[in-house]
Amino acid sequence: MTETSDVYYDPYDVDINADPYAAFGRLREEAPLYYNEKHDFYALSRFEDVERGLRDPQTYISGRGGILELIKANIEMPPGVLIFEDPPLHTVHRGLLSRVFTPRKMNALEPKVREFCARCLDPVVDADGFDFVADLGAQMPMWVIGMLLGIPEEGQEEVRDRVDSDLRTKPGEPMRYSETSSFATGDVFADYIDWRVAHPSDDLMTELLNAEFEDETGTTRRLTRDEILTYVNVVAGAGNETTTRLIGWTGKLLADHPDQRRQLVEDRSLIPNAIEEILRYEPPAPHTARYVARSVDLYGRTVPAGSVMMFLIGAANRDDRHYADGDRFDIHRSIGQQLTFGYGIHYCLGAALARLEGRIALDEVLRRFPEWEVDVDNARLASTSTVRGWERLPVLTP
């Protein structure tokens, strides 16, 4: 590692986040173990290091949070936030949700996902363009998650907006977390859960209400109301925000690479791999953080216990050591293992659903709009330190 490197990375810096890949490239080459003194965190950026770290939950624990500012806040996470849990509790809670989010069950949703896409896109077919986020990305995933959870459509926008608001940050500022926020309490879902107790249905909420399991103490029981509130909140947040960003990046990258877009129009069998490449090239969550539970030696330095380690997934996914010419977008690339959905025990349970939604959304867009270009003057990146993507992505169609 070059100790004298002046490379700087700050997850809250608006200018860096507008296009972080130059900084990511320098980090990989000049400071593969990077320390930010201002915010007091370490960062790893090479694919091999990030992959190794994500599959080492003994050294890099999740129970203190997976976001830099949450770890720094030293907040006790409510039970059920499985993305911020460690074994054995994480093992129990993940096992419950894994019964629902199987690839088979997710793929069975394809007809409904296509129906939702049609509802979004058919009204704008005769217009001069549409917005990949407002007209599609912010709508279809919300309907899908709402359907899975059993939330009536008239309440879905409120749920989406309240959950998303907890992830929003002012430009250049950390996310503000409160133990009374809807992210922490899940109270936005309270009325729906209470209603579902008396009116069971074929949905995730009913399944969670009725599920019996053996908890970390060996006791066979059902989830408490508070645990269900937290569970549902986690699913709703993860299912909406990141898929919205995936759809936005799909519109942007295929506008930037019209030759590859034309290949997709001519051969729809290329779509699944195109979605994988979009996820690799522009991961909706470009970094994740962990609390360092025990000291670890890396690149001739000791990262002390009690530190925060950021795994820069966006940097790792473009590492030339793992992907030839990693900064090149190529829908034909042989991708194999990528890190967008994480790795190890915290691999994203919703990965199959996100891939399904991304694939169908792209297919339905191409069916109606084989060509588009971004209305650059009116496009805007979202202001958040947790995910990276488009707040608005209007496109013009011939």
3-class DSSP assignment, residue 142:
helix
Query: pTM score, two decimals?
Result: 0.91
| CA dihedral of residues 18, 23, 25, 28 (deg, nearest 10) | -130
Alpha-carbon gap, residue 238 to 375, rounded angstroms: 28
Domain-located, residue 156: yes
Q: What percent of the chain has pLDDT over 90?
A: 63
- Contact between 244 and 358 under an 8 Å Cβ cutoff? The reply is no
Measuring CA to CA, which residue among 279, 285, 240 is closest to residue 133? 240
In a domain, 363, yes or no: yes
Which residue, among 293, 294, 291, 234, has the nearest Cα to 71 in the 3D structure? 291
CA–CA separation, 82 and 93 (whole Å): 6
Task: For 14-76, give the DSSP string.
Answer: HHHHHSTHHHHHHHHHH-SEEEETTTTEEEE-SHHHHHHHHT-TTTEESTT-SSHHHHHHTPP
What pLDDT is attached to residue 1? Answer: 43
| pLDDT tens column, 79-98 | 778 888 999 989 988 888 88
- Rounded to whole angstroms, the Cα distance separating 202 from 214 reads 23
Q: Please, which residues have CB within 8 angstroms of residue 108's CB and are 6 or more apart in sequence? A: none
> Which residues have CB under 8 Å from 224's CB, separation 6+?
none
Higher pLDDT: 330 or 184? It is 330
Sorted by sequence, the CB contacts under 8 Å of residue 298 that are 6+ apart come out as 33, 44, 49
d(CA 18, CA 21): 9
Q: Is residue 308 part of a domain?
A: yes
Q: What pLDDT does residue 112 have? A: 95
Predicted confidence (pLDDT) at residue 193 exceeds the cutoff of 70: yes
3 in a domain, yes or no? no
Whether residue 9 is contained in a domain is answered as no
Q: At what angle do helices 271-281 and 258-266 cross, to 10 degrees?
A: 150
Q: Report how far residue 345's alpha carbon sits from residue 348's, in angstroms, rounded to the nearest whole number.
A: 9
Q: Is residue 2 part of a domain?
A: no
Half-sphere exposure (CA, 13 Å, Cβ side) for 30? 14
Cβ-count burial 53-89 (b if 16+ within 10 Å, e if not): bbeebebbbbbbbbbbbbbbbebebbbbbbbbbbeeb
Q: Is residue 202 part of a domain?
A: yes
Question: Is 165 exposed, middle or buried (CB count within 10 Å of its CB: 0-12, 13-18, 19+)?
Answer: exposed
CA distances from 319 to 6, 49, 277, 312, 387 (A): 20, 11, 14, 11, 20
* CA 312 to chain centroid: 13
CA 215 to chain centre: 27
Confidence of residue 2 (pLDDT cuts 50, 70, 90): very low
Residue 176 has pLDDT above 80, yes or no: no
**Beta carbons of 283 and 313 less than 8 angstroms apart:** yes
Residue 131: Cβ within 10 Å count: 21
Look at residue 99 and tell me whether its pLDDT is greater than 60: yes
Range with the poorest average pLDDT among 12-16, 49-53, 101-105, 120-124? 101-105
Is residue 26 predicted with pLDDT exceeding 50?
A: yes
- CB atoms inside a 10 Å sphere around CB 185: 17
For 284-334, the DSSP string reads SS--EEEEE-S-EEETTEEE-TT-EEEE-HHHHTT-TTTSTTTTS--TT--
Stretch 37-48: mean pLDDT, rounded? 97
Domain ranges, residue 179: 14-396
Of 45-49, 148-152, 181-185, 283-287, least confident by mean pLDDT is 181-185
pLDDT digits (tens, 9 = 90+) for 273-305: 999 999 999 999 999 999 999 999 999 999 999
CATH of the domain at 227: 1.10.630.10
Torsion of CA 266, 269, 271, 272, to 10 degrees: -170
Would residue 266 count as lying in a domain?
A: yes
The count of structural domains within the chain is 1
Q: Quick one: 388 exposed, middle or buried, by C-beta within 10 A (0-12, 13-18, 19+)?
A: buried
β pairing state of 394-396 and 129-131: antiparallel
